[in-house]
Structure 1
Amino acid sequence: MSHSSNPQPRALATWLLAVALLVGVIVGIGGITRLTESGLSITEWKPVTGTLPPLNEAQWQVEFEAYQQIGEFQQVAGPQGMTLADYKFIYFWEWFHRLLGRVIGLAFALPLAWFWLRGAIPAGYKPRLLALLALGGLQGALGWLMVRSGLNTQMTDVSHFWLSAHLVTALFTLGGLIWTARDLLHLHAESSAAAARLSPLALVTLVILFIQLLLGAWVAGLNAGHASDTWPLMSGQLLPQAGWDRGVLHAFTHDPFLLHWLHRWWAWVAVAALVVLARHSKAAGDRPASVMVHSAFGIQIILGIATVMTGVALWLAVAHQVVGALLVAATAWAANRLGWRQRAGS
């Protein structure tokens, strides 16, 4: 039985921003997991018992032997001479990634229940918070489906489609957390403030950014970052030699050279849209949001070029993914400000 209604929008916003920070961290850990080829190291999903890693050598051998049954070990890691010590290294990153996912789930679900029982959730926000909780559950399910796609003797990696679904859902959740936190902060400042609307400009910008994020996820899943280590040309050419023999659709969804090229140059379409959104956000009275958007995409471009020219150096690639998450957060912030201003003026 809940207590009498006592809305606490600022406390809720602080909580959601803390969860958003955790989501940003797990995006970075996910990047490390992918780049160290750790994602297939744990071949089972054990929601409860999987919280603990192997505790003795016998348990480690069981896990290692299970990993040896899949294509990644048989075709890549095994021929390269992987030892048990090597396996423990990749196991750690996948285990830590899954553990942090559980922590985020608890960090969202338990405070949500507490705020709910205290009557602290403002009117109209319960469905949105439940939707964010459902997105978190979906994210976990997509993560396991992604891993399962690579647990066979034919594959040496996970499906880039499942990887993109896993990553983009995480970033969508991050944007939802930021948007909702901003709405709650507006409500704290003005008790009659209505939730922001998604303006046409923000919608177009978010669609363009979504395409860029999807391309980036496919590039990551296909290891297409290695298609070229030069900038701006690829192998001395402006346009890459794409494989069209299996059809246009296959080329646009599987060809590493074409996807690498598209991810490079669609970025500038995204930049143009983000500049317009940031300027409108500044005009709506939120200069910090504009600065955050400009800073995020500027750093992201530099990191992207550096990642390419260093042959996908691990820490640069991870930083590129983390700043991508920061860019999503900044874009959601700016879009919310613009939508709130338009709603207030309507």
Structure 2
Amino acid sequence: MPSPPLQSGSRRHTRIIAAWLLLGCALVAATLVVGGVTRLTGSGLSMVDWEPVSGVVPPMSAEGWEREFAAYRDSPEYRLVNRGMSLAEFKRIFWFEYAHRLLGRVIGLVFIIPFAVFLVRRMIPRSLIPRLLLLFALGGAQGLLGWWMVRSGLVDIPRVSPYRLTAHLALAVLVYALTLWTALSLLRPGAGKGDPEAARGAGLRRGSAIVLGLAALTLLSGGFVAGLDAGLIYNTFPRMGDGWIPPDLFGATPWWLSPFEDRTTAQFNHRILAVLLLAGVTTLWWACARRARGAARPWAHAGFAAAWVQAALGVATLLLFVPISLAALHQANALVLFTALLGLTFELGRAEVSGARTLPGGGTEVGPTASGG
């Protein structure tokens, strides 16, 4: 997956744009973490209206809070789950969802205002503009998808659709990945096009891309685990109950919907994917330790460490019946692991393997080790 040439003009402008994109990555990551905590605390359905502009201002008076609470009392969640909740208890769940929505709005402002300024000042390379417009469109779609998700829990059953929850998560991860990849392409140009060492790194790059895809799949399977509350059953490890394969696997009707609608199957699949991911990351790390050079090595080490931390957090979260603090750390570290693997895949695409040395201009120099002599 080579990076297209995005640089042109002033290096200072390039660094500014890259820093702006990295700020966007940080905000998206924060939104993902807060969104996870919102889900874990059961706060996602506390705001029953979507007001993109006026909703920026929270209730500022006792009357405002009473109106907000009255609207919530008309929702299925209050009637079926939280009947008798006090105003103080409502405020606690309200603020989590409010922070999540506010971060989404902040991301929009942090993107559109500098983007307009950069365009007016002609600081953005023409080749980069379509990608930035795509990111803006995906960000807007994420807001709409988030409300579509919340709406699924405001009708009859006070629980958001696992399908919509996972779609919301998937789009957020996609926006994060595209933004980070674009920032790295600006900061680290010169993917090994036509480089004599490119072929030598092809195997590592393919392996890294496969493991990155597996990490994304595992992360999304976690969305179904969260949406189905599947972490609250079979709280044993490595076995599920008394056996390796639970007796009620594939319990949905029809059976092929079980990975998305059956709690046992969702947890079983997440476990299998997590074990495969841990093995894949460890194998990739070992291969990179032998062959990779330059900036790829620290990314590989970071991915290896994050994978084992993630496994420990996942097991602890399961055994302790999903405490909010551990579950939130597990979700946050999933993004750390994904980031490390994305950075590794990017760097391996620059053909920094087996003695290829990066030159100041972005090219590579083949040393004796690389050439075999």
Shared fold (TM-score, shorter chain, > 0.5) = yes
Counterpart of 1:63 in structure 2: which amino acid?
E
Residue 261 (structure 2) pairs with residue 254 (structure 1) = yes
Counterpart of 1:297 in structure 2: which amino acid?
A
Task: Give the alignment of 1:25-64 within 5 angstroms.
Answer: 25-64=30-69
> For the Cα contact (< 8 Å) 1:6–1:119, is it kept in 2?
no
Superposed displacement of residue 274, structure 1: 2.8
Residue 246 (structure 2) pairs with residue 223 (structure 1) = no
> For the Cα contact (< 8 Å) 1:212–1:263, is it kept in 2?
yes
Counterpart of 2:167 in structure 1: which amino acid?
A
Gaps of 5+ in 1: none
Query: Which residue matches 2:182?
Result: 180
Superposed displacement of residue 70, structure 1: 2.0
Query: Which residue matches 1:162?
Result: 164
Query: Which residue matches 1:312?
Result: 322
2:145 to 129, 135, 142: 142
Counterpart of 1:253 in structure 2: which amino acid?
F
> For the Cα contact (< 8 Å) 1:5–1:119, is it kept in 2?
no
Q: Deviations over 1:213-257 (max 9, x none)?
A: 121000001111101222112222211122536122122211101
Query: Which residue matches 1:239?
Result: 245
> For the Cα contact (< 8 Å) 1:202–1:277, is it kept in 2?
yes
> For the Cα contact (< 8 Å) 1:281–1:337, is it kept in 2?
no
Query: Which residue matches 1:331?
Result: 341
Superposed displacement of residue 10, structure 1: 1.8
Residue 114 (structure 2) pairs with residue 104 (structure 1) = no
**CA–CA distance in structure 2, aligned partners of residues 180 and 203 of structure 1:** 17
**CA–CA distance in structure 2, aligned partners of residues 117 and 279 of structure 1:** 48
Q: Return the TM-score normalized by structure 2.
A: 0.83
How many residues are aligned here? 334
**CA–CA distance in structure 1, aligned partners of residues 145 and 137 of structure 2:** 12
> For the Cα contact (< 8 Å) 1:67–1:73, is it kept in 2?
yes
> For the Cα contact (< 8 Å) 1:6–1:118, is it kept in 2?
no
**CA–CA distance in structure 1, aligned partners of residues 271 and 325 of structure 2:** 19
> For the Cα contact (< 8 Å) 2:153–2:160, is it kept in 1?
yes
Superposed displacement of residue 279, structure 1: 5.0
Secondary structure of residue in 1 paired with 2:350: helix
| Compared CA separation, residues 54 and 260, structure 1 to 2 (3 A) | same
Counterpart of 1:294 in structure 2: which amino acid?
F
> For the Cα contact (< 8 Å) 2:43–2:93, is it kept in 1?
yes
> For the Cα contact (< 8 Å) 1:31–1:321, is it kept in 2?
yes
Superposed displacement of residue 193, structure 1: 7.8
| Compared CA separation, residues 123 and 200, structure 1 to 2 (3 A) | farther
Query: Which residue matches 1:171?
Result: 173
2:220 to 203, 214, 218: 214
| Compared CA separation, residues 280 and 103, structure 1 to 2 (3 A) | farther
Q: Deviations over 1:287-334 (max 9, x none)?
A: 111111112111111111111011100011011111111112111111
Q: Deviations over 1:8-67 (max 9, x none)?
A: 222222221121111111111111110111101101110111001111222212211211
**CA–CA distance in structure 2, aligned partners of residues 98 and 135 of structure 1:** 16
Secondary structure of residue in 2 paired with 1:77: coil
| Compared CA separation, residues 104 and 82, structure 1 to 2 (3 A) | same
**CA–CA distance in structure 1, aligned partners of residues 104 and 252 of structure 2:** 41
Counterpart of 1:82 in structure 2: which amino acid?
M
Counterpart of 1:323 in structure 2: which amino acid?
N
Counterpart of 2:89 in structure 1: which amino acid?
D
Secondary structure of residue in 2 paired with 1:312: coil
Query: Which residue matches 1:88?
Result: 91
2:207 to 197, 201, 204: 201
**CA–CA distance in structure 2, aligned partners of residues 303 and 21 of structure 1:** 22
**CA–CA distance in structure 1, aligned partners of residues 68 and 288 of structure 2:** 51
Residue 28 (structure 2) pairs with residue 18 (structure 1) = no
**CA–CA distance in structure 1, aligned partners of residues 183 and 284 of structure 2:** 19
Q: Deviations over 1:93-114 (max 9, x none)?
A: 1011100111111112222222
Question: How well do the aligned residues superpose, as a CA RMSD in angstroms?
Answer: 2.3
> For the Cα contact (< 8 Å) 2:216–2:338, is it kept in 1?
no
**CA–CA distance in structure 2, aligned partners of residues 68 and 132 of structure 1:** 37
**CA–CA distance in structure 2, aligned partners of residues 182 and 10 of structure 1:** 10
| Compared CA separation, residues 331 and 219, structure 1 to 2 (3 A) | same
| Compared CA separation, residues 337 and 5, structure 1 to 2 (3 A) | closer
